[in-house]
Amino acid sequence: MRKGRGFIIFLLAAAGAWLIFELINNSGNAQALTMSEEDYAIGSKRFAAVSRKVTPALKASLKEKGLPWRNPIFIRAFKEEKELEVWVGKGGKFVLFRTYDIAGASGKPGPKEREGDDQVPEGFYYVKPDQMNPQSDFHLSFNIGYPNKFDAAHNRTGSFIMIHGSDVSSGCLAMTDSGIEEIYTLAAAAFEGGQRYFRVHIFPFRMSDEKIAAHADHQWHSFWKNLWDGYKRFEEKKVPPNVTVKDSRYHFE
């Protein structure tokens, strides 16, 4: 009985600490965007303020690289290196625009297998407009679409895996508030330009023949070789491959 009561007290204390953190964080973000906390609580107004703040600099940086505003985007993330890349489409291929540090990610090498395991997924995902969340508890966020068909074929569970702001995460990728402001704005602009969805590819590390060989005895070696096939397709053509699932494996076109 005492153990149960202690656990309840712990949960209440954790919830209270989280509430205080969220209130302080939201207040700080509202001030940074020169808006009231009441307006900040409304997702559409929050993102409108973010867009006004970051769009001019993003447009200027894109122009320097000869990349148009509102063109399609593609995202790759690498867990070991803690890096996330945003690529922008141009002339039928994709060009690396910017690499962001991942500020927070939990777990270890290997895919997410079940709800609550704190693992960041590995694999091939995509984001549609309805997966964007401007009213996130973590400033801004979007749902990567885990579990996908491959995950489902392997009976993997979990939900609400996001790329979001802040610098802490449990099973998601935390990009800092300033980082997610740019990434989210680029994604929203791509949707405005007509992109129906953008792909998010998450890898355990930057892949190579040497890296794969070095993990020959790892429990996820076969899975990583399957990811390596998709990784190579993009490296060769600079176009994200079409990904399907057959016989519980990824296939690429």
Domain borders along the chain are 68-252
With 0.75 as the threshold, say if the pTM is over it.
yes
Reported confidence tier of residue 28, pLDDT bands at 50, 70, 90: confident
Does 172 qualify as catalytic in the annotation? yes
| Percentage, residues of the chain above pLDDT 70 | 90
Catalytic residue among 154, 164, 221, 251: 164
Reported confidence tier of residue 15, pLDDT bands at 50, 70, 90: very low
Average pLDDT over residues 191-209: 98
Res 9: pLDDT: 54
The conformation of residue 130, written as its DSSP 8-state character, comes to G
Catalytic residue among 172, 201, 215, 251: 172
**Closest-CA residue to 51 (of 143, 134, 171, 154):** 134
CB 191 within 8 A of CB 134: no
Reported confidence tier of residue 65, pLDDT bands at 50, 70, 90: very high
CB 163 within 8 A of CB 140: no
How many residues in the chain?
253
CB 114 within 8 A of CB 146: no
Name the superfamily (CATH) of residues 68-252.
Answer: L,D-transpeptidase catalytic domain-like (2.40.440.10)
Cβ-based neighbour number of residue 131 at 10 Å = 17
Res 57: pLDDT: 98
Would you report the helix, strand and coil content of the chain in percent, each value rounded to 5?
40, 25, 35
Average pLDDT over residues 25-53: 92
Q: Which of 17-26, 108-117, 136-145 has the lowest mean pLDDT?
A: 17-26
The pLDDT tens digits for 95-106 are 999 999 999 999
Reported confidence tier of residue 3, pLDDT bands at 50, 70, 90: low
Average pLDDT over residues 72-90: 98
CB 229 within 8 A of CB 252: yes
Reported confidence tier of residue 68, pLDDT bands at 50, 70, 90: very high
Does 251 qualify as catalytic in the annotation? no
φ and ψ at 148, to 5 degrees?
Answer: -90, -170
Average pLDDT over residues 195-207: 98
